[in-house]
Structure 1
């Protein structure tokens, strides 16, 4: 196993890694809308989702992959009433690629975030 850490994504806020690679598989921790410096992104669900994807891309790049290598994601949201707006950003960032996905409404997320996404990806040749 290899610990993955990118300076282009926020440091973890607990005792865990940004991602772990095992063989050709990459397992990211949930990414929330924090900038690389650790500042909260406030604003619309679209703004927060964009930052989450920026973080995911940074971690995946560090691990030798990209969004194109993602096979599965889990999306956690505090308000499924914002699903359509999150989904717009999701579709734009993945383009024609369509990984498997689960979306779950939760009572709360760390730092007051409204969205958190984790991913499982393959390293790309």
Structure 2
């Protein structure tokens, strides 16, 4: 896309405004076509349905963006009880979305972990150590005032396909 923009900038200098706009509109159509092709929704019934107007994940070709997962049981859509159980459920949900996308947890390159209580951070580390292999994904852990459905944890991530 950067190459296309550079070419358009060069063309702008030599073409009349009308010629540029005509070519620019064709370029926009071309870019929008590829954006539609390269933006695919990933959805599975093995993970909780979205609680709002968003997708469980979006595949853009080489990169998959995982929406935040909270510790809901996908069958009942209810929050699981207990700190460690909530942490494990979030990663089960992420695993289910990864399976639907044809990737594994080891393909995750970045995680953002949101916690309503930072005192469970060590438990998150323990669970992640069981589920992930080195090199571990880059990660941020952030304490927040409140999470959806009063859950303890929400995790979002980025996957790069091998």
Runs (4+) of structure 1 exceeding 3 A deviation are none
> Per-residue deviation at 1:46?
1.3
Structure 2, unmatched stretches of 5+, are 1-38
Measured in 2, the distance between the counterparts of 1:95 and 1:48 equals: 21
Question: Is 1:41–2:80 an aligned residue pair?
Answer: yes
**Residue 112 of structure 2 corresponds to which residue in structure 1?**
74
**Residue 60 of structure 1 corresponds to which residue in structure 2?**
98
TM-score using structure 1 length: 0.94
2:129 to 73, 91, 105: 91
- Give the secondary structure class of the aligned counterpart of 1:29: strand
TM-score using structure 2 length: 0.73
Structure of greater Rg: 2
Structure 1, unmatched stretches of 5+, are none
Measured in 1, the distance between the counterparts of 2:120 and 2:90 equals: 15
Higher strand share: 1
Bigger RCO of structures 1 and 2 (CA < 8 A, at least 6 apart): 1
> Per-residue deviation at 1:10?
0.5
Measured in 1, the distance between the counterparts of 2:63 and 2:103 equals: 10
1:112 to 128, 150, 157: 150
Measured in 2, the distance between the counterparts of 1:76 and 1:15 equals: 20
1:51 to 89, 99, 117: 89
Measured in 1, the distance between the counterparts of 2:61 and 2:133 equals: 27
Measured in 2, the distance between the counterparts of 1:97 and 1:109 equals: 29
Aligned residues: 123
Measured in 2, the distance between the counterparts of 1:65 and 1:27 equals: 12
> Per-residue deviation at 1:96?
3.0
